[in-house]
Amino acid sequence: MISSSKPSMAEIILNNLESDKNAQSYWFDGEWHTRGDLLNLVNKSAETLKNAGFTKGQRLVVMMKNSPLIPALSLAVWKLGGAICPLNEKAGNDALKHTLELLKPFTLVISPEAEKNIDPEILKSWPSVICENELKDFTGKTNYADSEDENFAVIFSTSGTTGKPKAVPLTHTNLISNCEATSKHVHVLNSDDVFLNALPNFHSFGYTCTMMLPLSINAKIATVPSFLPPSGAIRAILEANVTTMYIVPAMLSYLVNAAAKNKMPVDALKRQKFICTGGDKLSAGIRAQAVKLFGRDIICEGYGLTETTPVVCMNRSTEENKPGTVGPLLPGYEFKLKTRDGQLLNNSNEGVLWVRGNSVTPGYYHAPEITRERFDDEKFFNTGDYVKIDEDGYYTILDRVTDIIIVSGFNVYPQEVERVLTEHPAVQTAIVVGMPHDTNGEIPEAYIQRREGFENVSEREIIKFAKERLAHFKVPRKVEFVDDFPLSSTGKILRRVLREKAGRKSL
């Protein structure tokens, strides 16, 4: 049903599944299932959708935790020429209403658990079907087909830093390009691998890297509904013999602590072929804890955005890893560096990163004004991240442009300050944000999570430690100790919440 002569993501994956129907495909709830099992689920789902009136150019919203039904519905929708839209039902009713009005879906496929979190008024406004392991018969809205959507494969909702949620459509070309470039770039990946599928499916990192990437290279998937509680992921790692993990730093921290407390064998993590963290920076404290436990550094970092399907950069392997960097650009990307106000930097290795390539979204869904803001005339996309490139082409993310703190005209990169603070033996995690100041404009404030056994460390001691290692304008003027941080649904620390909290203070 795809109009292009090139194979769609569905055709690539379905051909893989057809190649050996008896081979293992996915582990779920303690059992292995074959490629034939997944094919049967795809075909049943496609038949149900077709009978319900689903056609080319329509969109199917899915709100449920990870399960085999997510890839099955994706492939079924693509066979019929439509797009899948995985959403987080806990995003908030206002955000959900706005996103659904924007997407105008054929129907909402909702798990019984997700249904409890959704405003009944939303369910009255859109047709929905409640199911868990298999799509049930239903009737959808057939009047919202859109011919311009026929090449869209998946549409994500992303809130960014401010304003209403935006919809980011990714095409089959985007998905194919990112999966092919990632598997080529990370050359240790192959069809013998077992990927942990624990990141949320409504996040491009989870959807692409832990589900579509392994399916595209004929690898296997160990699926758990959610990473929390970690016991489910630990069981999957052990029983399914997971070899490859794309996870966020918070997930790594849980696993390292579990191994340190003998809640899982250390060897189960040490034997991993490839562990890559993304979605947030990996703190020096977590890395040091992992290195101490494993006896060597096996953690790679990567970087990407929803708009780039998501991977932009990634360390290739343990052997080629440069700790503290997010690795080189994936094949197929072009880049520019610009100033914060958009001026091109021709002879600099530091600036705001703009990228162009087949992994980059064609633009925001039904939002041409936002598309014009984020793309330049040559179709380069503004990542909004301030980066530094070393002599080997490895990238370091200095900070989000919106996170940079300007103290009396001087740029302060929070990640630099955080790296110094986590060198203190009492500091587990540090987050630095800007706090309003009448004279300096802003000053740094640090929120710190202490290590176990260091509850008596004081604010004065932390500030003194920072003064000995940082320029005076980079030193936090205030330190607040916290037991935990506000987290997003993917485990990413919500700096925005901390900035808002700091914004209510002044010195």
Contacts 24+ apart (CB under 8 A), 263-272: 263/234, 264/234, 264/237, 264/238, 265/238, 266/293, 266/294, 268/234, 268/237, 268/238, 269/237, 269/293, 269/294, 270/294, 270/295, 270/298, 271/243, 272/242, 272/243, 272/244, 272/245, 272/298
Q: Residues 434-492: pLDDT tens digits?
A: 999 888 889 999 999 999 899 999 999 999 999 999 989 999 999 999 999 998 877 78
User: Is 49 in contact with 60 (CB distance < 8 Å)?
Assistant: yes
At residue 507, the pLDDT reads 56
Q: Residues 156-178: pLDDT tens digits?
A: 998 754 457 899 999 999 999 99
Q: What architecture is the 9-15+27-169 domain classified under in CATH? A: 3-Layer(aba) Sandwich (3.40)
311-314 and 59-63 beta bridge pairing: unpaired
d(CA 162, CA 405): 17
Q: Residues 410-434: pLDDT tens digits?
A: 888 898 899 999 999 999 999 999 9
User: Is 445 in contact with 477 (CB distance < 8 Å)?
Assistant: yes
At residue 296, the pLDDT reads 84
Q: Tell the CATH superfamily of the 404-503 domain.
A: ANL, C-terminal domain (3.30.300.30)
Residue 247 has pLDDT above 70, yes or no: yes
Q: What's the start-to-end Cα distance of the chain, in Å?
A: 62
At residue 3, the pLDDT reads 43
Q: Residues 369-391: pLDDT tens digits?
A: 999 999 999 999 999 999 999 99
Average pLDDT, whole number, for the chain? 92
Q: In this structure, what are the phi and psi dihedrals at residue 314, rounded to the nearest 5 degrees?
A: -165, 140
Sign of CA dihedral 475, 479, 483, 488: negative
At residue 439, the pLDDT reads 81
Q: State the residue for tokens 């794309």.
A: 246
At residue 502, the pLDDT reads 84
Residue 399 has pLDDT above 70, yes or no: yes
Length of the chain: 507
Side-chain half-sphere CA neighbours of 15 within 13 A: 8
At residue 143, the pLDDT reads 72
At residue 20, the pLDDT reads 95
Q: What is the pTM of this model?
A: 0.86
Structure tokens at 333: 């990307």
User: Is the model more confident about 7 or about 210?
Assistant: 210
In the chain, CATH 3.40.50.980 covers: 9-15+27-169
In the chain, CATH 3.30.300.30 covers: 404-503
Q: What is the average per-residue pLDDT within 300-321? A: 95
Share of the chain above pLDDT 70, in %: 97
Give the lowest-confidence range in 35-39, 132-136, 209-213, 292-296: 292-296
